[in-house]
Amino acid sequence: MGIPLWNRQLSPTGLSRIPTYSHHHFADEAVVSTLGYLCPLDRTCDGSRQRAVLLAAGVDLITEDPFGPVSGRKGWADLLDRLGVGDMVTVESVLVLGHRGRLDVALGSIARVLGRGAGIRSIVEGIDAPPGSDAAAGLVALARFVARRRTDAITAGQVESRAEGRAPGRPAALDTEDVAAIRAARSQRPPVPVKTLAYDYGVHPSTISRMAVEADEAPFAPRGAGAPTPIDVKGAIGYAWTLADAETAHAIRAALRRAGTGRVVIERLQHTASPAPQLAELVACLRPGDVITVPDLARLAPRLRGLLNTVAAIEDAGAALVSLGDGIDGRTAASAGAIRAMLALRRHAPAAPRGSRSRGLSDKGETELLDAVRADPLIPTATLAMTFGISPSTVRRLLKRAGYNRSPGRIPGVQGFDQSAN
């Protein structure tokens, strides 16, 4: 089970003995069925609140990492290496698995857990996704959506480069045989260390890590999972958006026709940030019992926030969503759990493209945030940001405008709270 480090840590109930497993303190390869993971959401937090939440949830084995990018977390990498089929990983929030509140990064981490036949549980979002469950299928579908959007962006850049007569990308540092050998070495138990492989092949360790991650994400499904079961969509409404030429739009339309859909709407967008008026009109006209069919979730909306908002609007209208490529059929009880897991992450999706500004919270949301601060003056800024789905800087701005002054240096390890501005 490993050798714990007994540390005296600050918790809401005072100083207590808490078992903490850092990345190099596993003494054996025994399978642990209940694993907790924590990582501070910003540099001002010490992880004590996350640890208290995990212990209250019944987790007694905790792997901890300092604040930093997921790619550099040694504890997380070792936890993944030791995951077995049927294990469960528990976190306070899915944002712990990302960096600086990025949901797309967190979904990539979730996909790696599910791809190893393990499950994921998140306390704040109320997600309980054992391996093979409906909730796990919904999280895998979102992770696949993020990967497809990234692939589409890369493909568009390559097409543009070739049109301008330039060779797309940089020359590959590793050939196909090298990549296969690296993935085989990383799949061993125990795996060959990343730094050892980087030295042997003369590349940066991040290149080795990227090769291993791509191998993990390739199937985007738990071990042993097969292809999606064919879904009967006779008479349903087909929809897809595209940036490509008319030939690609025609191919998508033909695929939806072959699946048995009736009316098919193909919407051409200028870029991924463009509004989709045909989709908005289609959703507004939905009636209970209607069915919208898409080739996959990546063809329903170009951005994660738009996807989750559209799924929520379809559910509110009493209609059903069918994604052929993801095996999601909103008409069945099995897919209802997948859709609920997807919508549980809706508040964490980025509200606007980078570079744009939004108000952040409604008047009601600001009132609830201030009430939470009055109830617990020492609540960390990162926790407020995670709870209300906004950035820590937005939280600090709202509190400063309300007359409260956050002072991180007043209490070691905890964000202080001072009303001297009043």
Q: pLDDT (tens digit, 9 = 90+) per residue, 185-229? A: 887 878 888 888 888 888 888 888 777 655 544 444 443 444 455
Bigger pLDDT: 378 vs 419: 378
Instruction: Check whether 420 has a pLDDT greater than 50.
Output: no
Q: What is the pLDDT of residue 157?
A: 65
Q: Which domain holds residue 327?
A: 237-348
pLDDT at 342: 92
For residue 397, being part of any structural domain is answered with yes
Average pLDDT over residues 162-189: 78
Compute CA distances 101 → 66, 107, 391, whole Å: 15, 11, 7
Phi-psi region of 414 (alpha: psi -120 to 50; beta: other; left: phi over 0): beta
**Domain check: are 321 and 244 in the same one?**
yes
Write down the pLDDT at residue 360: 60
Q: How confident is the model at residue 23 (pLDDT cuts 50, 70, 90)?
A: very low
Q: What average pLDDT does range 77-93 have in this prediction?
A: 89
Q: Is residue 146 part of a domain?
A: no
Which comes out higher in pLDDT, residue 60 or 140? 140
**Exposed/middle/buried for 338, CB within 10 Å: 0-12, 13-18, 19+?**
buried
Q: Give the Cα separation of 229 and 240 in Å (integer).
A: 21
Region 5-28 average pLDDT: 35
Picking from 98, 132, 166, the residue at the C-terminal end of a domain is 132
Q: How many structural domains is the chain composed of?
A: 3
Q: What is the mean pLDDT of the chain?
A: 77
Rounded to an integer, what distance in angstroms lies between the CA atom of residue 364 and that of residue 238?
37
- Please check the confidence at residue 47 and state whether its pLDDT lies above 90: no
Instruction: Report the alpha-carbon distance of residue 61 to residue 10 in Å, rounded.
Output: 17
Same-domain check for residues 342 and 373: no
Whether 16 and 127 map to the same domain: the answer is: yes
Residue 135 has pLDDT above 50, yes or no: yes
Taking residues 316-323, report their average pLDDT. 92
pLDDT at 405 (0 to 100): 65
pLDDT at site 149: 78
82 belongs to a structural domain: yes
267 and 377 assigned to the same domain? no
Q: What is the pLDDT of residue 17?
A: 33
Retrieve residue 124's tokens: 């704040």
Asked whether residue 292 is domain-assigned, the answer is yes
Q: How far apart are CA 407 and CA 403, in angstroms?
A: 13
CATH number, domain containing residue 371: 1.10.10.10
Angle of helix 304-316 versus helix 134-163 axis, rounded to 10: 130
Q: For residue 414, is pLDDT > 70? A: no
Residue 92: predicted pLDDT: 92
Which residue matches tokens 């937005």? 394
What CATH number does residue 284 fall under? 3.40.50.1390
Same-domain status, 369 and 343: no
Residues of the chain with pLDDT > 70, as a percent, come to: 75
Domain boundary (132, 161, 176) is at 132
| For range 376-404, the mean pLDDT | 79
Tell me: pLDDT of 79 over 70: yes
What is residue 373's predicted lDDT score, i.e. its pLDDT? Answer: 87
pLDDT 10s digits, 254-293: 889 888 888 899 998 877 777 888 998 999 888 998 999 9
73-77, 151-155, 160-164, 168-172, range with greatest mean pLDDT: 73-77
74: tokens are 């040694």
Q: Which distant-in-sequence residues (6+ apart) come within 8 Å of 112 by Cβ?
A: 80, 213, 216, 217
Q: Using 50, 70 and 90 to split pLDDT, how confident is the model at 85? A: confident
pLDDT of residue 208: 84
Output the 3-class SS for the chain: CCCCEEEEEEECCEEEEEEEECCCCCCCCCCCCEEEEECCCCCCCCCHHHHHHHHHCCCCCEEECCCCCHHHCHHHHHHHHHCCCCCEEEECCHHHHCCCCCHHHHHHHHHHHHHCCCEEEECCCCEEECCCCHHHHHHHHHHHHHHHHHHHHHHHHHHHHHHCCCCCCCCCCCCHHHHHHHHHHHCCCCCCCHHHHHHHHCCCHHHHHHHHHHHHHCCCCCCCCCCCCCCCCCCCEEEEEECCCHHHHHHHHHHHHHHCCCCEEEEECCCCCCCCHHHHHHHHCCCCCCEEEECCHHHCCCCHHHHHHHHHHHHHCCCEEEECCCCEECCCHHHHHHHHHHHCCHHHCCCCCCCCCCCCCCHHHHHHHHHHHHHCCCCCHHHHHHHHCCCHHHHHHHHHHCCCEEEEEEECCEEEEECCCC
List Cβ neighbours of 401 (8 Å cut-off, separation of 6 or more).
Answer: none
The pLDDT tens digits of the residues spanning 102-124 come to 888 899 999 999 988 899 999 99
In 3D space, the residue among 279, 286, 287, 280 whose CA is nearest the CA of residue 240 turns out to be 279
Is the pLDDT reported for residue 29 higher than 70?
no
Same structural domain, 332 and 410: no
Residue 21 placed within a domain = yes
The structure tokens listed for 184 are 């085989």
Which tens digit of pLDDT belongs to each residue from 225-261?
Answer: 444 556 766 778 999 998 766 667 888 888 898 888 8
Say whether pTM exceeds 0.85.
no
Q: Report the amino acid identity of residue 318.
A: G
